[in-house]
Amino acid sequence: MKNHPTTDQEQMKRGEFLRSLGMSSAALMAFYCMGTSLTSCSKSSDPTPTTPTTGTTTGTGLTGNADASKGAINFTLDLTDANYSKLKTVGAFVKVGSVLVANAKGSKYVTIQRICTHQQLDLVSYRLASDDFYCDGHGSVFATNGSVVVAPGGPSQAAMTLYKSALSTDGNTLTVTA
């Protein structure tokens, strides 16, 4: 978040001046808000961001390249890391880089491209009940082998690229390769 150009020192001087006029703290706060941006006044009441269960995860737990635009997909996920431990649960999925990794039905890890082949929307999710991938954009459905099941784009709609997913014997590291 950007610092407001008004420094704390300047605010302090203004506060001392206003206090010398006998103003209450609430009135002082109102003056601060008038003199600063709305964001700095609302900062304390901003909701704490929640960690998305399905959004792109960044930070610890990923080693290698998960972005197809930067070369071949080849990375590992540490499933003991808080960013990826949800992947130990059947039905859960995460999006990293340009792929979506799901713990599919039967504890089978499936990794496919995250962007839908219909109109390139990033709205694909894994559905445990039907063991498939669904795009919320226009209803495309893809099987866990990437093939098109429901194609709003017509018969020419391309399949999703599938990547290889391999779980280590201790169940703590998932390796994804092209």
Out of 88, 105, 127, 138, the only residue in the binding site for ligand FES (CB under 6 A) is 138
User: Rounded to the nearest whole angstrom, what is the least distance from the CB of residue 160 to ligand FES in the complex?
Assistant: 10
Q: Which C-beta is closer to ligand FES: that of 110 or that of 160?
A: 160
**Is 119 among the residues that bind ligand FES (CB under 6 A)?**
yes
For residue 25, the one-letter residue type is: S
Q: Where are any strands of DSSP class E within 86-169? A: 93-96, 99-104, 108-113, 124-127, 132-135, 141-142, 148-150, 162-167
Which residues, other chains included, contact 72 with Cβ-Cβ below 8 Å and sequence gap of 6+?
A: 65, 177, 178
Helix ranges (H only) for 36-153 are 38-42
Which residues, other chains included, contact 56 with Cβ-Cβ below 8 Å and sequence gap of 6+?
A: 95, 96, 97
Out of 118, 162, 165, 176, the only residue in the binding site for ligand FES (CB under 6 A) is 118
- Under a CB-based contact definition with an 8 Å cutoff, are residues 160 and 112 in contact? yes
Specify the stretch interacting with ligand FES by CB under 6 A; choose among 43-51, 58-66, 92-100, 117-125. Answer: 117-125
Scan residues 149-178 and list those touching ligand FES (CB under 6 A): 152
Q: Which C-beta is closer to ligand FES: that of 54 or that of 119?
A: 119
Q: What are phi and psi of 51, to 5 degrees?
A: -75, 120
User: Rounded to the nearest whole angstrom, what is the least distance from the CB of residue 171 to ligand FES in the complex?
Assistant: 32
Specify the stretch interacting with ligand FES by CB under 6 A; choose among 69-77, 79-87, 102-110, 135-143. Answer: 135-143
- Binding residues vs ligand FES (CB under 6 A): 116, 118-119, 121, 135, 137-140, 152
